[in-house]
Amino acid sequence: MSYDIAVISFSPGGLFKAHWALYAIETNGNSTENWLIHVEGEPSSGFTHDIKKYDIAFSRRSHHVHSLLGGAHITASQLKGILDVATSIPAPGKSLRSASSAGRPQGRVRLENCQTWLTQVVEGSIQQNYLPPEALTALHQVPMN
């Protein structure tokens, strides 16, 4: 089996950031072998890993698919490597504090979300040679909102 790797950008509309998920698309058209790799949650409560077989054709959410490979494909063993990288990178924890939280702010807070996590997954997958370096360039072209 071979796979195209894409980012699905689910559009929330308005001022909110888009939700990003990595999508492995089986190239022979067998949608039962497609994988959705992402984290779910929000900065105020934290995120959890969600990795599952998935067919985007059944999604009711507004979305766009952005290929990271520009027509190239990866093997099933490279996909397994990407899945291993994804599960080895912790899902972002709680990174947004409420105005009523105790204590003074300790400087600028770095918000972590699905986009920062997915960037780490792509970077880690490039370091392990599961994805080509061009995948990061393609990822930076995906709209954040």
Buried b (16+ CB within 10 A) or exposed e, 48-65: eeeeeebebeeeeeeeee
State the Cα torsion 114-120-126-128 to the nearest 10°.
-120
The answer on pLDDT for 30 being more than 90 is no
> What pTM was estimated for this model as a whole?
0.88
Mean pLDDT of 41-51: 92
- The pLDDT of residue 108 is 58
Are 92 and 117 within 8 A, CB to CB? yes
The answer on pLDDT for 102 being more than 60 is no
Burial class (CB in 10 A: 0-12, 13-18, 19+), 74: buried
Confidence of residue 29 (pLDDT cuts 50, 70, 90): confident
Where along the chain do its domains lie? 2-94+109-139
- The pLDDT of residue 12 is 77
